Amino acid sequence: MNDLRELYQEVILDHCKKPRNFHEMDEANRRLEGYNPLCGDKVTVYLQVKDDLVQDVSFQGEGCAISTASASLMTELVKGKSLEEAEVIFRRFQDLVTGKSDGSADMGKLAVFAGVGEFPMRVKCATLPWHTLRAALKQQDEAVTTE
């Protein structure tokens, strides 16, 4: 179990140091900002949605290791997915970090966030990019805040 925890930490650190899809997107047809005042995390999610598919997704922002790694992993996971699939992934992630699921069921890479539920302050960091993504997919135009 300790080995697993170390592995998870490595994955989070790796995504934090080298965030994937970390750039602005000129071709984005949806763009939304999210803010977590508790920690100071700021994220902007860029999306290119066409025919109910997330054709492309990227993000920018400033935040702690957890929020950055979460956003980075999120972009990898939802790219190429349908809006419905993205919603399913969002729910799984939400259940995992809030402790509603134990992370054993088909979580894939998301499992690295299983330990976040132990730190309630960090749950908002981890879910900020996801709430922002979801609001952008629903074509909400008001910035997202975790408060």
Minimal distance, residue 117 CB to Zn ion, in Å: 15
CA-CA distance, 17 to 31, in Å (whole number)?
24
Scanning residues 40 to 59, which ones bind Zn ion (CB under 5 A)? Answer: 41
21 belongs to the binding site for Zn ion (CB under 5 A): no
Q: How many CB atoms lie within 10 A of CB 33?
A: 17
Q: Is residue 41 within a helix (H) or strand (E), and if so which, with residue range?
A: strand 41-50
| Closest distance to Zn ion from the beta carbon of 7 (Å) | 22
**CA 91 → CA 29, 62, 95, distances in Å?**
24, 24, 6
Q: Is 28 in the site for Zn ion (CB under 5 A)?
A: no
67, 68, 75, 127: which one binds Zn ion (CB under 5 A): 67
- Contact between 126 and Zn ion per CB under 5 A: no
Q: Which residues bind Zn ion (CB under 5 A)?
A: 39, 41, 64, 67, 125
